[in-house]
Amino acid sequence: MRFTDKIVVVTGGSQGIGRATAERMLDEGGSVAVLDADPARAQSWVSGRSDASRCAVFPCDLLDAASVDAAVAGVLERFGRIDALAQVAGGDTASADGLAEEHWLSTVDLNLHGPMRVIRACRAALVQSRGAIVLVGSVNGVAAYGEPAYAAAKAGLSLLARNLAVELGPRGVRINVVAPGTVLTRVWTERPGGADPVVKMYPLGRVGLPSDIAAAIAFLASDDAAWITGVTLPVDGGSLAGPLQLLGGPIWGEDG
């Protein structure tokens, strides 16, 4: 019950990692403000919970600063404070040309500028509460897995977190990044074959679940991580540790 009496903002909470994170925070006693571009979908699962009174849904478009500011203002009016921010919302639409102008601008706007808009809107409240920020990056922002616009934006989150860790640390605010590998969300479940083709990339023998990422977010947002800031934590089943999995195993024989 690490979030009892805590107010947690979760963006992208209608589905996938965002929903798993919001549910984890509720399960640990927190009150949760879900910010999402599809508030009806978020409300549909919130309404079915016995602890729905501790959760409120606010419409929020990360591409629109006014929408973000209005959502955060609504959170503060409803709950009076913000103790933690889990910035989950993001994504990428595959493009035949990853450097195409329109694709590049829209992807970076959603995955880098959008999180900064949320941080900026929540910053004063988090300073007041000496709170925590957790950003959801990606292994794409750590190594070359393709999708250059998405990768560049997610890599930017790590440097953003390191800079803000230095700036906000003296004011009691921590900020870290979780970098997931392949996670079994709608992006994968709707594909023919699902995520099976990429399982070989993972030494632990499976792709991730939204709950795997939610657990890491909850840790970094909690007092258990009170002396951790400016860090990017891969939660990736070992994919970054074991790139030779892509080749089917070690390239050397038993005799070295």
Active site residues: 150, 154
Residue 194: partners with Cβ closer than 8 Å, 6 or more residues away: 184, 188
State the virtual CA torsion across 91, 42, 66, 126 in degrees, nearest 10: -90
Helix (H) or strand (E) holding 143: none
Tokens 């959170």 -> residue? 75
Cβ neighbours around 186 below 10 Å, total: 9
Separation between Cα atoms, residue 52 and residue 30, nearest integer Å: 11
Rg (Cα) of the chain, in Å, rounded?
Answer: 18
DSSP string across 157-175: HHHHHHHHHHHHGGGT-EE
Nearest residue to 150 via CA among 114, 119, 117: 114
Token representation of residue 167: 């700036």
Please report, as a single letter, which amino acid is at residue 29. G
Closest CA to 83 of 118, 121, 132: 132
DSSP 213: H
